[in-house]
Chain A
Amino acid sequence: MRNMLIAKLGLLIALTFILPASTLGQQADQPAAQPAKHMESHIGNLTGDSDAGRLLYFRYCWGCHGPHGDGNGENAPYVTPQPRNFVAATFKCRSTPTGTLPTDEDLYNSLKRGFNFTNMPSWLALTSQERANLVAFIKTFSPRWVTEKPGTPIQIPAEPALTIASIKHGGELFQKLECWKCHGQEGRGDGPSASTLTDSNDQPIRPYNFTSTNRSKCGRTNPELYKIFMTGLDGTPMPSFADVVKPEDAWDLVHYLRTLQYNNPSPELAMWESTAEGKAIVAAKRVAKYTETGSGVKP
């Protein structure tokens, strides 16, 4: 009888714990969140509509990004770097902290600007409304847009005055933070680690070559350059330095990086060349110039 009681008690205890556990298991087995079928985007006064964006996507975008937005369009095997996977919703150019979703405006600006050294062109020829519609449609590919909110854009402090000291300090940071390992000592994207880098798709990815253009991946202005190393380029080896670099140091780094773009006039380059040291360094780089367009050395 006592054994029976113990058995019943044990069963009760077991049921007490197992049932909820099984319920938890059922919850865990529930399907993951689904992407929204309809989304809006909000950029200034514009409201984008995903239904209108769908038509545009299947006119302009699917060849690379694929009909399901997973970056597996029919041309994806021939595109380097690979087209963005909108299902993963990992975006390089953001104003928001690393790991967070970008704002609608971030995506809108990416469409407007395009990405140099990739197959993604600028869609400036489209109307503002069309770009907003496309942003809305892109958000229907990933459940992240349902379960998460975009990150809060980082604060960009006012740019301090440009000085020789800030350029030199930026150069020191370039060494200290080991930027050179990927970007190379001269910023040509040929550092010792460059050939080993891969993106989140395990595809080789090349570090940015500062000497090739004055456009960085996510813009051409100083604040845009500042934003890149404070937010990182998610999906690439380029990390966020927000926790490592103080804002004033970040500006110094911006000033220094501009001097690496020695083929593109800028106040930073002009100031750097006004010093004997800077003039000699830049002159040496110019003589050693090679171009990716095959146009040869141009001293």
Chain B
Amino acid sequence: MDVRSMWGSRRRSRCRTTLAGSAVLLLVILFSCSSASAIPAFARKYGMPCSSCHEAWPKLSPFGQQFKDNGYQMGNDRDAPIFQSPAYWPIALRITPNWHLEHNENTIVDGPGGPNSTTATVTTRGFDFTGMDFLTAGTLAKNFSFLLVPSSDETGAFHFESVNVRFDNLFGSTWANIKVGKFELDNLLSEKRILALSSNGGFYQNYHFQPWLAPGSPSPSYVFGLGDNQLGIEWMGHSKNDRTRVSAALLQGTDGNPDFQSGIGGAAGRGYEGYIAASQAFEIGSLGLQRVGGFAYFGQAPTFPQYTQNDGAAIFGTGIGNKPYYRAGFIGMWYFKKLDFTTMYFYGHDNVFLATGTQSNLGADGLPTGAHAPSWNGALIETHYTWSPQLVLINRYELIRMKQQTLDTNPGDLGNVDALTFGFRYYPFINTRAGFAFHNEYSIVWNRKVQISPTTGLPIDLTSNSLFFGLDFIF
């Protein structure tokens, strides 16, 4: 389930408080997507407890990853629907009633001097609930699998988060699997299976970061999130024991949005993008299964529409003047028995025309003075201590550091991010029918110099805290 989608409306209210703050949050809303999560329908189908496929649901175990990579098949020649009771229905749902607190410092608010004339520390809290995911997945026949996830935000507005069909084990080979539709990228660190749920901690900062044009002005021209489900076709291959995994995808440049919409600007939809990922796992004695891998996303986004109508509205899918961007990184998953660390290095780069929102047909002369192609580095360390299948402690720290600002006039640390999340999930029971977790989490995010103080006119930080207690259930 996508926690970001759960928090859409609350974020919207916050958006009104500050332009810069809203930009951060707006990006999250726009990137909103949902997930595969845990699927008790599989537990019911195979009679296995959640803990078989999930180290702590929704995070997959190596066995669960293999099951997923094999097209939701155990490989027992009993995976096809023909072997199930006709009453079996491969559907599950997940939602999380909760109490949460949001504490935002340097929020720009109305004051005696007029609208948005001062800053304040704003705290909101209370009972709430998240959006809901329907998770339907399984096999249509042997080696034909599917995933369909209608997902709603907390207002009940639905969209399709995942819609895909996968041809598994083509030619009898585990190295030939083709998936078509809308799907999660083959991210080793899956944002769809994230163990944090709060509005600050429920997504990976590195997966969604885009550089700021200037303090108070977010990147204007395209929308992309590595954690977002994308539209396209994916080839994926893996060794039988899943130790080696490789994938490559050809994707529509719409960040997963239908009808050739980009989610912002309306000009996108003409370009294709690419994503590759590979990883290798290896055993170290009794410590567990270690895994290292790398990934790269090669994107392109149009800078202006070829056609507009109704006085300037872009016709979707007619964007031209494509300019590139890319993301790349390395990841390691290190196990020391019950303790595991995930480490990730991340690098991002945007073309200067994208970063400045300049039409490419204007050439270099159209660029703002002192404009550069921005680039940045990121890092993540996420720790889990799995005391037992029923209790997992979670800790995560992320940072993003700008290497090259878009404009010379920007502060050197504009857009830098630090994010800390910790908490625990307790599963009072584990069975083969449903899942339930007490979720407890605190998260804080520092966004550096992303807004301008209405009183001093200087760039100031935006700091957001989240405290979250949820009853996370899936059936």
Contacts and interface: CB of A to CB of B under 8 A. Distances in A.
Interface of A: 52, 55, 58-60, 62-64, 73-75, 78-79, 114-129, 212-213, 215, 292-295
Interface stretch (B59-67, B298-306, B357-365): B59-67
Nearest to A48: B286
Nearest to A64: B47
Interface stretch (B73-81, B114-122, B196-204): B73-81
Contacts of B264: none
Interface in B65-89: 65-67, 74-78, 80-83
A199 B80 CA distance: 25
Interface residues of chain B: helix, strand, loop or mixed (majority): loop
A120 B76 contact: yes
A123 B83 CA distance: 21
B432 interface: yes
Interface residues of B, number: 35
Contacts of A215: 77
Contacts, number: 94
B46 interface: yes
B175 to A, nearest CB: 16
Given A125-B241, A125-B242, A126-B62, A292 B82 contact: yes
A119 B76 contact: yes
Interface stretch (B21-29, B48-56, B391-399, B403-411): B48-56
A266 to B, nearest CB: 14
A127 B74 contact: no
B155 interface: no
B77 A117 contact: yes
B52 A55 contact: no
Nearest to B54: A59
Which 9 A-B pairs give the minimum distances between C-beta atoms? A75-B47, A121-B74, A125-B66, A294-B82, A125-B63, A124-B241, A63-B49, A125-B62, A59-B51
A293 B82 contact: yes
Interface string B399-430: 00000000000000000000000000000000
A213 B77 CA distance: 8
B49 A118 contact: no
B446 to A, nearest CB: 37
B123 interface: no
A120 B75 CA distance: 10
14 contacts: A58-B388, A59-B51, A60-B51, A63-B49, A74-B431, A117-B76, A117-B78, A118-B76, A119-B78, A122-B74, A124-B66, A129-B283, A293-B82, A294-B141
A116 B73 CA distance: 12
B390 to A, nearest CB: 10
A62 B49 contact: yes
B103 interface: no
A127 B288 contact: yes
B112 interface: no
B47 A78 contact: yes
Contacts of B283: 127-129
B142 interface: yes
A287 to B, nearest CB: 21
B347 to A, nearest CB: 31
